[in-house]
Structure 1
Amino acid sequence: MPHLSRRAFLKSSVIGASCAAGAGLGVRWPQAFAGPAPIELKPRPTDARIFGEIPTKNVFTYGEAPGAMPPVLRLKRGDPFAARLVNQLDEPTTIHWHGLRIANKMDGVPFLTQPNVSPGRSFDYAFTPPDAGTFWYHPHCNTLEQMGHGLAGVMVVEDPADPVFDAEIVLNLRDWRLGGNGQFISQFKPREAARSGTFGTVRTANWQVEPIYDAPSGGVVRLRIAVTDVTRILQLKLEGAEAEVLAIDAQPLPQRVPLDLLILSPGQRADIAIRMPAEEGRGVTLTDHRPSTPATVATLRSVGPSLNHALGDVGPLAPNPQPEFDLSSATEIPLLLSATAEQAAKNSICGSLGYSFWAINKVPWPGDTADPLAPIEELKLGQSYVLTMKNVTPHAHPIHLHGMNFTVLRSTREDAPKLTSDTYLIFPDETVQLGLVADNPGDWVFHCHIIEHQKTGMTGYFRVA
C-alpha cells in the first residue's frame, strides 16, 4: 500500500463513483475491448525499440503488431469477460489478473489453480469483474524473465456510472535490464536479490523513455498508473499542475488526497485527477524521486483552447463493495517477514532462481514442514482474520494477496493510511495489522511483488474453504 502524506490525507474532502475516459487525447497505446467473443492474447517474442536506435530483440508482448506493448484491456464491471491465452513462446506461461477478485480457477497460478500452458497450447479464462478500477495482467510462470522481458499489460474495468473526464491517459511503468547495445542483460544478480532487488537500466512509461502526451488545456485528466516493474519502488511527484489522488489499487479513497508525494511499489496502481494548465503548450511533468536524483517519468502537454474546468467538476468515484469485517470475532495470524540463513535452491511457485534469501514465518518456500507445500494457514470461508505482519528486514516489501482485499487496521508507521487494497508496501521494522474477510474459496497466493524476493522464498498461500 502506498505512502500518502498524513497531512494531505486529513486535509482532503469526502467523495465517493467511478470515472470513464472522456475525449481520449493522448491515448496512443494499443487497446482491446471486451466483447461477447473471447479476446485472444498471444504471448510471443518480438523486436521493439525501447532505447536508442537499435531494436531490442526477444522482447515479450501480448500485442499483435511488431514491437507493440501489451494492449490496454477494457472491461465493464458486472459484464462477462473472456480471454483465450494462445502461447506462442517457447516456454510455458499463464495469465494472472492482478487485483481482480475472481474465481480461484481463473487466477493463473500454475500448479496451484491451473496447469501450465505449454508452447502451442491454449487456455480459456472467463470471469465477471466485480470491481471497477485500474488493474493489470501478467504471467505467473518464469515470472522474472517473462515480466522482465515486457510481458505485463494494464487492465481498466469501467463502471457504467462513470463520470466523464476530459481525457484519460494510461501509464504502464516499468524498467528494462538492457546493456549499452540495447540488448537484454541478466535479469538479476544474486547479491542484489538478497537486498532490495536488481534494478533495471532503462526506465520507461508505455515502453518509451520520457514520453509526451497531449491533453486538453484547462481540462481534467484521469491518469491511470500501473507499476508493472519487477523491482523498482517509485516516489512520484507532479510538477506544473494541481492534482488529486482518487484511488489506490482500484479502490476509491474515502477522501481525495492532494498529490504531494505518492510512493507506489511493484504491483500497485493509482488513479489521479490532474487539472491541466490553461495555457496551450504548458507541460506537466511526472517525476520519480527515489532514491535521490529526480527522473522524468512522462510529460503531459496542454493543447487547444482552455476548457476552464476544475478538479471539483468531476463527480465522485463509487466505492467497490467490500465484505463486512468483524473485529470482535477475528482470528489473528502472525506473519514474520525475514531473511533466511538457507542458501540452497527452493523450487518456488513455478520456478526458482536457484537461491533462498527470504522467508515468511522463518520458512522459505516451499518450506521445511512435514508437508512443505502446505498453505501458510487454512481459513474458514466467511470468517474474519487479522494478519499481523512484521518486517524485520532492512528492506521494503510490497506484499500482494491474490483473490481478496484487506484493510489496514493499524501500523507502527504513523502515516500509514487506513486503506483497502490487495497490496501493502511494508517498510523496514514496520508491524502492520491487516483486516481480512476470507470471502473467496480456493488457494490464494501471498507473496512479495519484488519478484526476486518472491522467487527466493518470500511467498506462500492461504487456503480458504
Structure 2
Amino acid sequence: MTQSRRNFLKNSLVTASAVAGGAAVGFLGSKAQARPDLVLKPALTEHSFLPDTLTSKVFSYNATGPAPVLRARQGQPFHVRLENALPEETTIHWHGLRLPNAMDGVPFLTQPYVYEHETFDYIFTPPDAGTFWYHPHCNTLEQMSYGLNGILIVEEEKDPGFDQDLALNLRDWRLGSDGQFIKLYQARKSARSGTFGTVKTANWQENPLFEVPSGGLIRLRLVNTDVTRIFKLGISGATAKIIALDGYPTPGQPGLDQQSVGPGQRMDLAILLPEEEGVDVELINYSASTPWTVSTLKTKGPSLKRAIGDLKPLPANPVPIPDLASAEHIPFEFTATAESAPKSGFCGSLGFSFWAINRQPWLGVSPDPMAPMAELKLGKSYIFSFINRTPHTHPIHLHGLSFTLLKSNKRPLEPLITDTALLLPDEQIDVAFVADNPGDWLLHCHIIEHQKTGMSSFIRIT
C-alpha cells in the first residue's frame, strides 16, 4: 500500500474517530487517566508447544509467552495502550464488552489501522462484570492462529468469595511434526466446518496441571479463543455448576454435564473440590470422537471444608430489558453462497467467498463501501431472527451489544443474556435487545474462516 493511499485511508476516519473518541472520554468522565493502566505490545516471539521444539513466528502480546490475563473493575475506567511491534498492522477488539463504538477495534468501521511502531489508546469503563477476551480484527485468521488473543476479566464490585480464580485460554495450533506452523486453512474445509488445529492447548500447554485447594470452592473461567473448534466440556472428579455464560450470570446455576462452548464463547464454573489432597479433577472435551483431557486440577493442602451452599448467585449486569410487545422484527439468514474469488480486503482475504448473510457475502473489511445490513433507532427494542440455512453450526457474534435468547425451533432455550449465539444446523433462534449503543457494529460468524469468506456484516444504530 502506498504512503499516500495509507494516509488517505487513515485520514478518512480522523474526524469520525475524534468525535467518537471524545464521546468515549465523556463516557469515562473526570476519572479518565492520562497514562494507561497497562501497555499491550504485540510482537513476534517463539514458544515451545511440543517437547524440545521452539515454534517460530508466534504472535503474542507478551514476549515471554501467552498474552497476559487482564483484570479490570466493573464501573471503573480502564485504559490500555496498544504499541504495535508487529511487522504488520493490527487492532484490538474487546470481545463481549458493551463499550463506545470508537473503542471496538474494527479497522475502517470504528478506527484506522494501527501500523508498526504506532500506538492507539483504548479507554472505556466496562459496565458489566464477567469473563471476556481480546483479539485483533485485522488479518484475523493469521493473527489469531499465530497466537494473538488474551483473556479480560472484569471483576464484580463485590468479591464473590471464591478460594481461587483460574482462567483457561482454550485453543488449537496448526503445527507440523517439526513444531512449525503449517497452512492455516484448507479451502474445502473453510466451505464446511472449518480447518481444525493439530495441537490442543489450554494456556498454550497440552493438558496443563494446576494446584487447587483441597475442599475449596474455586471459579474456573473457560474462554474458547479457537478459530474453529466447538468444545463440549465436562468435569470428572468434582461437582461443578455453571455460574455464567458469555459473561452473564446463569439462571439457577445449573450443574455441569456437557456444555457446548463455541469460538468466542465463555463459561464460568464454580467447582467444589474433593477434600482429600492429591486428587485429580479433569476438564474433558467430548466434542471429538475420542474425548481428551483439556486440563487437570490437583488438590493440595488441608481441606478448606467449603460446601456448595456457600455458593451465592453472581449479581446481574445492568443490561436494559427489551419491550417485546413493541419490538421490531428483523430476520438474518446465514447461508452458503456460490463459490467465487472476492476482491482483496484491507484486512486480508482467504481468496474465496463461500458464505453469506441475507445472500450478501462480505469479507468483513473491504475497500468497497457497503450499506449496513440493518439500520436501528437508538433506544428502540428489536428481535433478530438468526436463521441457519446450512448443515453446519455457526457461533454468531454481535459487537457492542448483548441480547437475550428467546426461542429456538429445535430445542428449549433458557433466557440467557449473551453476545454470541451458537446456531445449530437448520436452526432458527430469536434474540431480543435494546439498541442502546450508537455506532456501526459487526455481526458475524466466529468461526474465522466463515467470517473471512463472507459470513459477516454490520448493523448501524443512530
TM-score, normalising length: structure 1:
0.90
Q: 1:406-417, aligned counterparts within 5 Å?
A: 406-417=403-414
| Structure 1 runs of 4+ with >3 Å offset | 34-38, 346-349
State the alpha-carbon separation in 2 of the partners of residues 150 and 372 from structure 1: 30
- 2:249 aligned counterpart, secondary structure: strand
State the alpha-carbon separation in 2 of the partners of residues 432 and 327 from structure 1: 15
State the alpha-carbon separation in 1 of the partners of residues 246 and 160 from structure 2: 19
One-letter identity of the residue aligned with 1:141: C
Unaligned 5+ segments in structure 1 are: 1-33
Residues 405, 461 of structure 1: CA spacing in aligned structure 2 closer, same or farther, 3 A cutoff?
Answer: same
Residues 349, 452 of structure 1: CA spacing in aligned structure 2 closer, same or farther, 3 A cutoff?
Answer: farther
2:396 and 2:443 in contact (8 A); partners too = yes
Q: 1:337-348, aligned counterparts within 5 Å?
A: 337-347=334-344
Q: 1:69-108, aligned counterparts within 5 Å?
A: 69-108=66-105
Instruction: Tell me, yes or no, if structure 1 residue 210 matches structure 2 residue 207.
Output: yes
State the alpha-carbon separation in 2 of the partners of residues 449 and 262 from structure 1: 18
| Counterpart for residue 14 of structure 1 | none
2:376 and 2:435 in contact (8 A); partners too = yes
1:348 and 1:365 in contact (8 A); partners too = no
Instruction: Tell me, yes or no, if structure 1 residue 223 matches structure 2 residue 230.
Output: no
State the alpha-carbon separation in 2 of the partners of residues 295 and 286 from structure 1: 9
Which residue of 163, 176, 179 maps to 1:179? Answer: 176
Which residue of 244, 256, 259 maps to 1:259? Answer: 256
Instruction: Tell me, yes or no, if structure 1 residue 145 matches structure 2 residue 176.
Output: no
Following superposition, the deviation at residue 292 of structure 1 comes to: 1.6
- 1:452 aligned counterpart, secondary structure: helix
One-letter identity of the residue aligned with 1:327: L
Following superposition, the deviation at residue 417 of structure 1 comes to: 2.5
State the alpha-carbon separation in 2 of the partners of residues 74 and 161 from structure 1: 14
The structure with higher relative contact order (CA 8 Å, sep 6+) is: 1
State the alpha-carbon separation in 2 of the partners of residues 359 and 330 from structure 1: 25
Task: Provide, for residues 86-139 of structure 1, a one-character-per-residue CA deviation record: whole Å limited to 9, x for no partner.
Answer: 100001000000000000000000010000001111111100000000000000
1:331 and 1:384 in contact (8 A); partners too = yes
Following superposition, the deviation at residue 437 of structure 1 comes to: 1.1
Unaligned 5+ segments in structure 2 are: 1-32
- 1:454 aligned counterpart, secondary structure: helix
State the alpha-carbon separation in 2 of the partners of residues 209 and 439 from structure 1: 42
One-letter identity of the residue aligned with 1:167: Q
Task: Provide, for residues 377-432 of structure 1, a one-character-per-residue CA deviation record: whole Å limited to 9, x for no partner.
Answer: 01000111110111010100000000001111111122332211000000001011
State the alpha-carbon separation in 1 of the partners of residues 362 and 207 from structure 2: 38
State the alpha-carbon separation in 1 of the partners of residues 304 and 448 from structure 2: 43
One-letter identity of the residue aligned with 1:202: V
- 2:353 aligned counterpart, secondary structure: coil
Residues 332, 388 of structure 1: CA spacing in aligned structure 2 closer, same or farther, 3 A cutoff?
Answer: same
1:346 and 1:456 in contact (8 A); partners too = no
- 1:255 aligned counterpart, secondary structure: coil
- 1:280 aligned counterpart, secondary structure: coil
Following superposition, the deviation at residue 164 of structure 1 comes to: 1.2
- Larger displacement relative to structure 2 (159-168 or 386-395): 159-168
TM-score, normalising length: structure 2:
0.90
State the alpha-carbon separation in 2 of the partners of residues 254 and 178 from structure 1: 40
Task: Provide, for residues 256-313 of structure 1, a one-character-per-residue CA deviation record: whole Å limited to 9, x for no partner.
Answer: 1100011000000011000111110000000101122101100000000111111221
Q: 1:125-144, aligned counterparts within 5 Å?
A: 125-144=122-141
| Counterpart for residue 330 of structure 2 | 333
Instruction: Tell me, yes or no, if structure 1 residue 189 matches structure 2 residue 186.
Output: yes
State the alpha-carbon separation in 2 of the partners of residues 382 and 349 from structure 1: 33
1:346 and 1:364 in contact (8 A); partners too = no
Task: Provide, for residues 198-250 of structure 1, a one-character-per-residue CA deviation record: whole Å limited to 9, x for no partner.
Answer: 00000000000000000000101100011000000001110000110000000
Q: Identity across aligned pairs (percent)?
A: 56
Instruction: Tell me, yes or no, if structure 1 residue 427 matches structure 2 residue 424.
Output: yes
| Counterpart for residue 38 of structure 1 | 37
Instruction: Tell me, yes or no, if structure 1 residue 352 matches structure 2 residue 349.
Output: yes
- 2:184 aligned counterpart, secondary structure: coil
- Larger displacement relative to structure 2 (110-119 or 408-417): 408-417
| Counterpart for residue 306 of structure 2 | 309
1:394 and 1:429 in contact (8 A); partners too = yes
2:349 and 2:363 in contact (8 A); partners too = no
- 1:309 aligned counterpart, secondary structure: coil
Alignment: residue pair count: 427
| Counterpart for residue 47 of structure 2 | 48
2:42 and 2:85 in contact (8 A); partners too = yes
One-letter identity of the residue aligned with 1:259: L
- 1:170 aligned counterpart, secondary structure: strand
RMSD: 1.5
| Counterpart for residue 197 of structure 2 | 200
| Counterpart for residue 60 of structure 1 | 59
Following superposition, the deviation at residue 348 of structure 1 comes to: 5.0
One-letter identity of the residue aligned with 1:438: A
Following superposition, the deviation at residue 37 of structure 1 comes to: 3.4
State the alpha-carbon separation in 1 of the partners of residues 126 and 410 from structure 2: 33
State the alpha-carbon separation in 2 of the partners of residues 100 and 253 from structure 1: 18
